[in-house]
Amino acid sequence: MSVEAAARLPVRRRMRANYQTVRQVLARINRYPVIPAAIMTVMVVAAVFAPYVAPKDPLLGSLRDREIPPMWLEGGRSEFILGTDPIGRDILSRIVYGAQISLVIVITVTAVGGTVGTALGIIAGWYGGNADEIIMRLVDFTLAVPFILVALVTVIVFGQSFAIVVTLMAVFSWNGFARQVRAEALGIKTTDYVAVAKVAGASGYRIMVRHILPGVINTVLVVASLRVGSLILTEAILSFLGAGIPKPTPAWGVMVADGRDYLGTSWWIAFFPGLAIFLLVLASNFLGDWLRDRLDPRLRQLA
């Protein structure tokens, strides 16, 4: 059930008085995900307006400026707010441009995977029978494949590139959509509304587009928003393992991998990009949950 309902439930009668206020405040905040929305907005703005937001060029640097600590530490400089990496590039600027990469990938993969998955889900749900079997087998197939290993092998064969990363991620992300949309479509299929349309002679295609599709939109949105976080994480993991976007483009996962050698000496190189990943995923998960609670609480089991 939704958060508001939970807050209104008659929980325990005996509540300690000092928790009352805290709970009220928390309940208020919980109503709207203020902080996550703020984080998300900051990231998106940074990503979209990267050239204006980033203080320095993410790809340029001077060896002389290598491994400078963040501004507030001893040895830090105000021109490098979060410090520099081993070859002198500004970390904050690279994080800003990294946000761009993460978001572009997420949007592209969601668009592609979402479209394909939704289409297949509707087809499977509407036609049933063999089409359903085949599509569900495909879903099972993509779930059984050890994704990371396949991604690594693919990169060895085809090299690293933006296109490869997006394709790989899209191929393994449509299954979530397909499953949920199919379930939803099955439900819609049995409604009177659709039965009437069939009787009136509407073609399968027409029914799917006109009747089923609008009905599953909510589901699609919820699934999409819930998956954003895991997409960002997946991209970060691929980058970390060297199968993501090629250097010197500043993907966050790559930045963390670069910082591994310097843990004992220049920890900020690995810390801040990872923190960025964490914050963005946290925000998007939170927002996804909130959206789901609003639009379709039945999908709770997706946790």
Partner 1 sequence: MRLNALLVLALSGALAVALACGGGDEPTPTAAAKAQPTSPPQPTATQIVIPTVAPLVPTATPEPAKPTPAPTATPPPAPVGPMGTLNVAIPLITPANFLASKIPWPGNLNLVAFGVGEGLLQTDYAAPPLIGPLNKNGIASDWTVATDLSKITFKIRKGVKFHRGYGELTAQDVAFSFNEAIKPGSTWARVEMGDFLAQAEAVDAETLDYKFKKWSGTWYGWMYPVTGAAPMVSKKAHDELGFDKAVLTPVFTGPFEVVEWKANDKVDLKAVAPHWRATPKVERVKIVEIPEVSARLAAFKTGEVAITQLPNKFLKDAVTTTKGRIQMIGQPASKHVAFAGNYWMKQHHDTGENIFPRPGLKPDAAHPWIGDPDNADRMESARLVRQAMAMAIDRDLINKETQDGFASASHTWYGFVPQMKEFKKEWMIPYDPAQAKQMLAKAGYPNGFKVPFYLPPDVPAVVSVEVGEAIALMWKAIGLDVTIENTAYQARRPTMVSRSIDVVWMWQRDAVGQVDIAQSQGTIPSAGWNRGMEIPWVVDLWKKAEKENDPAKRVSISIEGEDLSRHWMVVAPVVDISNLWVVGPQVKEWRPYTETAGYAGTFETVVLGK
Partner 2 sequence: MDLRRPLLPKAFGLIKFLIRRFISMAVVAILVTLFVFVLSRASGDPRTVFLNEYTTKEQWEQWGKDWGLDRPLLMQYLIWLGRAARGDLGNSLRESRPVTDVIKERIPATVQLAMGAFLFAVGLGLPLGVLSAVKRGSIWDYSGRTIALFGQALPPFWLGIMLILVFAVHLNWFPTGRRGGIDHFVLPSITLGWLTAAGLLRLVRSSMLEVLDSEYVKLARAKGASQFTVIWKHAFRNALTAPLTYTALVFVAFLTGAVVTETVFAWPGLGRLAVTSMSNLDLPVLSGVVFVLTGLYVLVNFLTDLLYAVIDPRIRLA
Q: Give the residues lining the site for partner 2 (CB under 8 A).
A: 6-7, 9, 11, 19, 22-23, 26, 137, 140-141, 144-150, 152-154, 156-157, 229, 233, 236-237, 240-241, 253, 256-257, 259-260, 263-264, 267, 270-271, 274-275, 277-279, 281-282, 285-286, 289, 300-301, 303
Determine whether 213 is exposed, middle or buried from the number of CB atoms within 10 Å of its CB (0-12, 13-18, 19+): middle
Q: Find which of partner 2, partner 1, none residue 236 binds, CB within 5 to 8 Å per kind.
A: partner 2
**Of the candidate residues 10, 129, 146, 159, the single one contacting partner 1 (CB under 8 A):** 159
Q: Find which of partner 1, partner 2, none residue 140 binds, CB within 5 to 8 Å per kind.
A: partner 2
DSSP state at residue 244 = S
Per the CB < 8 A criterion, the answer to whether 43 and 283 are in contact is yes
Pairwise CA distance, residues 121 & 215, whole Å: 13
Residues 6+ apart with CB under 8 A from 52: none
Q: Which two tokens stand for residue 85?
A: 């990496």
x/- binding map, residues 48-87, to partner 1, per CB under 8 A? -----------xxxxxx-x-------------------xx
**Of the candidate residues 155, 165, 231, 251, the single one contacting partner 1 (CB under 8 A):** 155
Q: Which residue has the tokens 């979209």?
A: 48
Stretch in the footprint of partner 1 (CB under 8 A) among 26-34, 73-81, 241-249, 271-279: 241-249
x/- binding map, residues 256-275, to partner 1, per CB under 8 A? ----xxxxxx----------
Pairwise CA distance, residues 152 & 32, whole Å: 40
Q: Find which of partner 1, partner 2, none residue 237 binds, CB within 5 to 8 Å per kind.
A: partner 2
Pairwise CA distance, residues 276 & 287, whole Å: 16
Residues 6+ apart with CB under 8 A from 50: 96, 97, 99, 100
Q: Is the Cβ of residue 221 or residue 241 nearer to partner 2 in the bound state? A: 241
Q: Which two tokens stand for residue 235?
A: 């991209």
Residues in the site for partner 1, rule: CB under 8 A?
A: 59-64, 66, 86-89, 155-156, 159-160, 242, 246-248, 260-265
